[in-house]
Structure 1
Amino acid sequence: MEYKMKPAYKGYKAYEYLEEGKDFPKFEWADWDWAGRHVVELEPEQEARVAELLAKYPYVSVHDHPTLFPKDVTSKQNIDNVMRNGREMTAYEALAYSNIDCVFDNQLDGVNIISSPGGWKWIDIIHDLGMRLCDLAHQDFIIHCKTVDDIFAAKKAGKIAMVFVVEGAAPIENEVDRIDILYGLGVRQLGVTYSESNALGNGCKEVHDGGLTMFGKQCVERMNKVGMLIDVSHCGPQTAYDAITYSKKPIIMSHVGAKGVWNTKRMASDEMIQAVAVKGGVVGIEAAPHTTMSKTKMTHDLDSFMEHFEYVKNMVGIDHVGFGVDCLYGDHVGVHHAFAQALSIAATSKTGAEYEEVPYVKYLENPTESSWNIIRWLVKHNYSDEDIAKVIGGNAIRVLQEVWA
C-alpha cells in the first residue's frame, strides 16, 4: 500500500516566488520521508473501511510542526544558522501525501532563535508568523484556518486548513493586549506556558509550581473573550489545573500522554486528564520521540503511543481524547539532541526506567506517516466508525465550535 497525494496540490514549494541563494540563503533540507514510508498492514476490507472513513470525516491534528528541518542536525552550528535565518519551510508536498484536513502548526516555538539563543522573543514570533503567512499567500493548497468553517471547506476542496499556534505565552511578556494582536494575525491557540515559567504561571520542568498568576488569570479571561483556544500541555500541574478551572470555556492539552502509563513531568496525571474532560475539553496524545513510551514494551512505537490513547479513553471516555502527535519533517531525535536545553528535554523526560533510544518513531515519524497509521490502527483494533470519527477530528471540532464562536 502506497501513500496517495491529494489532487488539489499542484506542486508548490515553499517561497518559490523568490530566488533561493539570492533572496534568501540556500540550505540543504531533509527528505520528508528520510526514515521511510511505513504503513500498518490491513486486510482488503479494512483498507476499504479506512478509505470510507477518511472520505467522510475530517482528520484534525491538534499539534504538529509540519515544516522541513535541515538534513544535517548533528552540527549545532548548522542547525543554528538555519533557525536564525527565520524562514521556515512548510512541507507542502509531504502534507499533500497526508490524510490531514486540518493541522495545528506550532511553528518554531522553542527553537525560534532568530534574535536570541534563548528564543521566545515577541519580535521573532511575529517575524516567523509573518514570513509563513507571506508564503501561504502565494499558493492555494494550504488554507489559513481561522474558523471551523475553514476546516470543512478545506476538506471539501481536498486541501488542508492550517491553524497557527504559539506554543507558550512567554512572548506576550506582561502585555495582555498581545493576545488580541496574535488573534488579529490569525493565531487561534496559545499555550499558557512552555516548560519554563513565564508571567502567566509555571512550566512543567519547575520543582515548585505556584499556579496561575494574577496576570495569568487576566490572560485566560482575555483568551476566552477573543476566542483563543487555551493549551496547558507544558504547564506545571497547579498552573494547568488553575487555567482549566478559571477558564469559562473548554481547554485542550494538545500533546501529552498519561503519567499512569509513563511517569515523566511531560505526561498528564489522572487528575489533570479528568479535569480537562469535566470542562468539556480534549486530551491530544503525542508521539514526539521518547515521550509516550510505556512499561509494557519499554520502547517508543505505535503500540506504546496507542496505550496512552486507550488509557485516557478508558478513564474519561471517547469524547475527550484525540491526537496531537507533535511531529516534524526531518530527524526529530537529532533535533531533540541539538536543542535539548532549549526544549527542556532532560528536565521533563526523566524516569527511573532504562530504555534504548530509537532513531525514529516507526509509523509516527512525521505528520504524514501518523495520519496514515493512527486510523489504520483503530480500524485494525475494531473501533466503531462513530468512535473513530470522534478521535480523528470530531472531538476537536466540537471544542473549537464552542471556543472559536
Structure 2
Amino acid sequence: MSQNIVFDGLQISNWDRATLQEVQRGGIHGINATCAVWEGPLEAIRNIGDWFVLQRENPDLIKIATTASDIRAAARNGQVGVVLGFQNTSPFDQDYSLVEIFHTLGVRIAQLTYNIQNYVGGACYEPQDSGLSRFGERIVEEMNRVGMLVDLSHVGNRTSLDAVHCSSAAVAITHANPLWFADTPRNKPDEVMSAVTERGGIVGACLYPNVIGGAATTRESFCDMVVRLVDQLGVDHVAIGSDSTRNWEPSYVEVLRDGRWKPTQVAQWPRWPSWFSSPEDFPALANALSDQGLSDADLAKVLGENWLRLFETAFVPSRNVEMVK
C-alpha cells in the first residue's frame, strides 16, 4: 500500500501528536480533518488556529494542505497532508462573504448541513426536507467561486439533489454508505449517489458503526459493499471516508448529536468493529479490498487517487461563477 497515495475523506478526532502518529502509522498520506460542526465563526477561527499550532509544533508529522499537490508533497516528505473541513455551514452564519474568508484561512471542504435544518437547507434527520434555501444557493455558488468542495454527507436527500444541480463544480459525499447496505437516514439512496457521481463527484464509503449496521458487521461485508458500489457507480467515483473519532472524552458524542439545540441526553460512542477501530487499521482494510477482487489500479483509486483527482478541480476557483452580490 505504501506506493499509493492514501487519503481518508473524513476524520473527526481530538488531535494531538499521538493521534496524528496513529494516522501516520496507518499509511495515510492525507485526511479531511473536521474543524467545525456546530461552531460559529469565531469558534471555527479558534479551531483553525489550533491546527496552525499543531503544524508549527509537529512539522515532521503534518502539513496543512490546500491543493492536491500539497498532499502529494506531504507524502513525499513523510508528512500527513491535512485538508481543513467543516461538517456544517454554521461558521458562515448568515453571511456568504465568510466563505471566502475561511477559504483564505485554508478551509477547502464544507458540508452544507449537519443532521438538522439550518439556513442553507434540510438535513438527514429532519422529518421533512425543505430543500436548498435561497441562501443555500448563494453559499453553493460562493463555494464554487472560491474553490471549496461541497459535502453532502449529513444533508437531506432533497437538499442534496438541489445542491448537485445548483453547483457548477463536482460535489462529494465524503462519508456515507448506500441505503441498501444499512437502512439509516445517514445513508444515501441510489438517486442521490447517482446524481453526485454522474456530475463527476465521489461517494466516500464510511466505517462509522451507525452507518455500517453496527460493530457486528464483518470486514468482508463492508468490502463487498465497496466492490458493489464500484460496480454501480464506477471505480472513479468511490473512495473511503472513515469518520474516525479518536481521543475524545465520552461526553463529546453528546455535543455532536445535540449541539446547543436541545437539552443534552445521555449518549455513548457506538462500539467500533474489531477490524477497524483506528486509522492504523487502514492497511488491513486495503488488503481485504484487494482480496475482495479490486485490482491494484482500482485499489489505488479507491484509497486516495480519486479524492486527489477531485481536489485538483474542486479546489480551483471557478471562472464561470461571478462574485455573489
TM-score bin, normalised by smaller chain: 0.7 to 0.9
* Deviates most, 127-136 or 334-343: 334-343
Q: Report the secondary structure of 2:127's partner residue.
A: coil
Counterparts of 2:260 and 2:124 in 1: how far apart (Å)? 12
Q: How does 1:84-103 map to 2 (within 5 A)?
A: 91-103=19-31
1:335, CA displacement in angstroms?
Answer: 5.1
Counterparts of 2:251 and 2:231 in 1: how far apart (Å)? 34
Per-residue displacement from partner, 1:336-394 (whole Å, max 9, x unpaired)?
467543499xxxxxxxxxxxx9732222212222x222211122223211101110011
Q: 1:245 to 1:90 in 2, by over 3 A?
A: farther
The aligned residue for residue 98 of structure 2 is 178
Q: 1:177 to 1:189 in 2, by over 3 A?
A: same
Counterparts of 1:332 and 1:235 in 2: how far apart (Å)? 26
- 2:300 is aligned with 1:372: no
Counterparts of 1:223 and 1:340 in 2: how far apart (Å)? 26
TM-score normalised to the size of structure 1?
Answer: 0.71
- Contact 1:292–1:304 (CA under 8 A) maintained in structure 2: no
Q: How does 1:96-135 map to 2 (within 5 A)?
A: 96-107=24-35, 109-110=36-37, 119-135=38-54
- Contact 1:169–1:200 (CA under 8 A) maintained in structure 2: yes
User: What letter is aligned with 2:138?
Assistant: Q
Q: How does 1:326-365 map to 2 (within 5 A)?
A: 326-330=243-247, 336=253, 339-342=256-259, 359-365=271-277
1:123, CA displacement in angstroms?
Answer: 1.6
Counterparts of 1:216 and 1:332 in 2: how far apart (Å)? 33
The aligned residue for residue 137 of structure 1 is 56
Counterparts of 1:238 and 1:281 in 2: how far apart (Å)? 17
Structure of larger gyration radius: 1
- Contact 2:112–2:155 (CA under 8 A) maintained in structure 1: yes
Q: Report the secondary structure of 2:85's partner residue.
A: strand
The aligned residue for residue 245 of structure 1 is 165
- Contact 1:66–1:90 (CA under 8 A) maintained in structure 2: no
1:138, CA displacement in angstroms?
Answer: 2.5
User: What letter is aligned with 1:122?
Assistant: P
- 2:142 is aligned with 1:222: yes
Per-residue displacement from partner, 1:11-56 (whole Å, max 9, x unpaired)?
xxxxxxxxxxxxxxxxxxxxxxxxxxxxxxxxxxxxxxxxxxx232
Counterparts of 1:299 and 1:267 in 2: how far apart (Å)? 18
* Deviates most, 159-168 or 312-321: 312-321
TM-score normalised to the size of structure 2?
Answer: 0.88
- Contact 1:202–1:235 (CA under 8 A) maintained in structure 2: yes
CA RMSD of aligned residues (A): 2.3
The aligned residue for residue 229 of structure 2 is 312
Report how many aligned residue pairs link the two structures: 308
1:95, CA displacement in angstroms?
Answer: 2.3
User: Can you give the 5+ residue segments of structure 1 that lack an aligned partner in the other structure?
Assistant: 1-53, 69-87, 111-118, 345-356
User: What letter is aligned with 1:329?
Assistant: R
User: Can you give the 5+ residue segments of structure 2 that lack an aligned partner in the other structure?
Assistant: 262-268, 317-325
Q: 1:337 to 1:380 in 2, by over 3 A?
A: farther
- Contact 2:6–2:30 (CA under 8 A) maintained in structure 1: yes
Candidates 102, 105, 108, aligned match of 1:188:
108
Q: Report the secondary structure of 1:120's partner residue.
A: coil
Q: 1:151 to 1:230 in 2, by over 3 A?
A: same
Candidates 385, 388, 396, aligned match of 2:307:
396
Per-residue displacement from partner, 1:304-327 (whole Å, max 9, x unpaired)?
432432332221111110000000
1:200, CA displacement in angstroms?
Answer: 0.8
Q: 1:139 to 1:339 in 2, by over 3 A?
A: closer
- Contact 2:22–2:278 (CA under 8 A) maintained in structure 1: no
